[in-house]
Structure formats: structure tokens, C-alpha cells
Amino acid sequence: MTNCAVKRIDALCECEGCGKRFGVELDIAEPLKGGHYDDFDNMVRWYVRGGNVNCYTWGVRGKATVDRLSLSCHPTVQGDLLLCDVCTKKCDDVEVPEDRNLTRAEVNEALGLIGEDE
């Protein structure tokens, strides 16, 4: 059996704040070769946290996808939620001490998701 020939994976993600769909391009041929990942959801979150991925949305004309468009800022994982560029900006406006990240409750509040599971 040969080594993995996969060089890139394009993951279709859905923002856990607003439901917006966006793409995450992962150059992950090396990690896949050893079979280290069996949970792609956590793998995508890990790469988004690290910031070393290309993220995009799609331009659509009629019913046809015509182009990849860059997001306005990099998606993030905050309060253990995978967030698109728009929700990330809303959370970035919340002031917290630099030595910690937003809690799930703070993310829910910033996104107007009060009453959601915390």
C-alpha cells in the first residue's frame, strides 16, 4: 500500500453562531499519512485555532458557484464554537482580560444567543 496521495482537503463548515457556511482549505497531506486523524471536526477546529489555513466563501451567479472569495477576517473557535468571520468580529468587540478567552456564555451574549446551551 502506498502513502496517502491526498494533498489538500476543502472542508465545508457551518458557523455555530449564525449558520453561515464557509470553506476551510487544509494542506494536511503529512498528518494524514500516519493515520493520526479520525475526527475531522476536531482537526478542522485545531487548524482554525492555529490560524494557518485559507478560509473562504463562494461567489454565486444564479445557481452556479463562480468564485472563491476571501472572508473579511479569519474564522475562530471561541467558547468552543466554530465561528465565521462575522461572528468572530462580534466576539472580538467583547472586552476580556488578555490572559483568557471568551467563555461560552460571553460568546452567546455577544451573538445574541441568550438561552442557548452554555
Question: How far is it, in rounded angstroms, from Cα 90 to Cα 88?
Answer: 5
pTM passes above 0.75: yes
**Residue-wise pLDDT tens for the chain (118 aa)?**
455 566 778 888 999 999 999 999 887 655 565 666 667 788 888 888 888 788 888 877 777 767 888 888 889 999 999 999 999 999 999 988 877 889 999 999 999 987 655 4
Looking at the 3D structure of the chain, how many domains does it have?
Answer: 1
116 within a domain of the structure (yes/no): no
105 within a domain of the structure (yes/no): yes
14 within a domain of the structure (yes/no): yes
Distances (CA, A) of 60 to 15, 17, 40, 67, 73: 19, 23, 27, 7, 20
Residue 100: give the domain boundaries.
Answer: 9-110
